[in-house]
Amino acid sequence: MTQFKAVMIVDKEFRISEVDPRIYGSFIEHLGRAVYGGIYEPDHPLADELGFRNDVIELVRELNVPVVRYPGGNMVSGYNWEDGVGPQETRPRRLDLAWRSVETNQVGTNEFVSWSRKANVDVMMAVNLGTRGIDAARNLLEYCNHPGGTYWSDLRKQHGCETPHGIKMWCLGNEMDGPWQIGHKTAEEYGRLAAETAKVMKIVDPGIELIACGSSNSKMPTFPEWEATTLDHTYEHADYLSLHQYYGNYEEDSANFLAKSMNMDDFIHTIISTCDYIKAKKRSKKTIHLCFDEWNVWYHSKEQDKSWIRREPWKIAPPILEDEYNLEDALLVGCILITLLKHSDRVKVACMAQLVNVIAPIMTENNGEAWRQTIFYPYLHASVYGRGIALRPMVSSPKYDSKEFTDVPYLETAVVWNEEKDELTIFAVNRHLQERLPLECDLRHFEGYRLIEHLVVRHDDLKAVNTAKDEQVSPVSYTGSRLSDGVLISELPHQSWNVIRLAQSKQ
């Protein structure tokens, strides 16, 4: 009988890639309470002089978020960016057709850039290729990035922003393959428009990076032909191709739910193959990298949201897409982060969707508190400790089969070595719902390292959640690990997220 035990070997020479910090990005869309009541609430007692909530800013800083995608999302495909600049008192209210809400435009481009600087994040801006196109995109770019002496750059200065915003990453539309999208296009239509828009934008500012729309999810009937056709047009103009994917536990099958990061792994492999096929077809020397700019667990609020939007449309900042996350959601988020690290050679940017209130790690009450959801913690740990070189460990783990997946390893793991700090971090999820998982890890290639700490996020109840008054799921120090003669011995608690940190001993 095979012993129930995981074994791994970590060698500093088995490198995947330097981890691009932007892999820990996020997303804020004008949707629900993400902006109004989320990052922006002028009447809140903790609001700053611009109306931004300082308690939310502090939590964003804690997460060390490097980049935030803005302003959408489905919303951007019907958005006129000019509505969100100039004096706030003269800005028009518009119907947001994507989410059947009313957009007040009190927060727009300049306000969001101001918020991003306070929160220490860069902006990834999306342009509207649904109802608009080349002209609106080039004008917005000129407004944001051109130094001055032209109509749009001087208008920015009139609006109080003397210095250019210097936004370097730009999304060429959003989910244009989706029939739900305003201005939905075929791959041929989108590819032509995206290529021509990209050419013009890079004339305005040659230093920007552009992201072409890939498939909205791996179950789209046009996947992966959409990517092949789109890249046929955009390959030499775009720098990244986007991917989106959300997961849910509709069947209440936790073992199968925790295996769904394997679907993400397959999705990434297929996209890479498609990108490289077009590279070969075009005889190109350029490699397209991936921007996984929407990912998360999303399913708790969907039925409620359908009812709300149907029953009470055209509200300002309605409380929609407010998933209350539990422990198993946090475990899958951890597995997803591990999957991204495993593909860090090609996935250079990723955005957890979203950041505040809307399917988010941070929740707020209007005129009340802000708090950390369960998914906050694996995101925090990966962002803070997952910077450096992603290593490829040799892993042997016991496995199981679920409804949708075969040979699911109980141990899901990634390793990041920060060579500059001489620190090593092992991220690990034990997917087993009842049993501790013994782990033996050979670290002899890291001579002189010592164990700093082992953090665990777990709870006996997979459905345990955090609220403003009761944090049931949070990291605790774990004493079940030891390092001896270069071998780490541990027992990973059942249904747990683990962060094992080691560092070079100081002489």
CATH number for the domain formed by residue range(s) 6-12+390-504: 2.60.40.1180
Is the model's pLDDT at 507 over the cut of 70? no
The 10 Å Cβ neighbour count of residue 389 is 18
**Which residues in 62-91 are b (16+ Cβ under 10 Å) and which e?**
ebbbbbbbbbbbbbbbbbebbebbbeeeeb
197-151-103 Cα angle (round to 5): 70
**Which residues in 96-109 are b (16+ Cβ under 10 Å) and which e?**
bebbbbbbbbbbbb
Structure confidence at residue 2 as a pLDDT band (50, 70, 90): low
More confident residue, 297 or 506: 297
Q: How far is CA 408 from CA 208, 235, 265, 356, 400, in A?
A: 40, 35, 12, 32, 5
Q: Are 320 and 366 in contact (CB under 8 A)?
A: no
Query: What is the mean pLDDT of the segment spanning 306-329?
Result: 92
Average confidence score pLDDT of the chain: 97
Give the start-to-end residue ranges of the domains of the chain: 6-12+390-504, 20-385
pLDDT of residue 310: 78
**Which residues in 178-193 are b (16+ Cβ under 10 Å) and which e?**
beebbbebebeebbbb
Question: How confident is the model over 349-372, as pLDDT tens digits?
Answer: 999 999 999 999 999 999 999 999
Question: How confident is the model over 412-462, as pLDDT tens digits?
Answer: 999 999 999 999 999 999 999 999 999 999 999 999 999 999 999 999 999
Question: How confident is the model over 54-86, as pLDDT tens digits?
Answer: 999 999 999 999 999 999 999 999 999 999 999
**pTM summary value:** 0.97
Question: How confident is the model over 192-248, as pLDDT tens digits?
Answer: 999 999 999 999 999 999 999 999 999 999 999 999 999 999 999 999 999 999 999
SS3 category, 374: coil
Query: What is the mean pLDDT of the segment spanning 267-283?
Result: 98
Structure confidence at residue 89 as a pLDDT band (50, 70, 90): very high
Query: What is the mean pLDDT of the segment spanning 287-312?
Result: 91
Q: Closest by alpha carbon to 173, among 156, 162, 189?
A: 189
CA pair distance 327, 180, nearest whole angstrom? 31
Question: How confident is the model over 461-495, as pLDDT tens digits?
Answer: 999 999 999 999 999 999 989 999 999 999 999 99
CA pair distance 172, 465, nearest whole angstrom? 37
Structure confidence at residue 1 as a pLDDT band (50, 70, 90): very low
Active site residues: 175, 294
Question: How confident is the model over 8-37, as pLDDT tens digits?
Answer: 999 999 999 999 999 999 999 999 999 999
Question: How confident is the model over 147-163, as pLDDT tens digits?
Answer: 999 999 999 999 999 99
Instruction: State in words which class domain 20-385 has.
Output: alpha beta
* DSSP 8-state secondary structure symbol assigned to residue 356: B
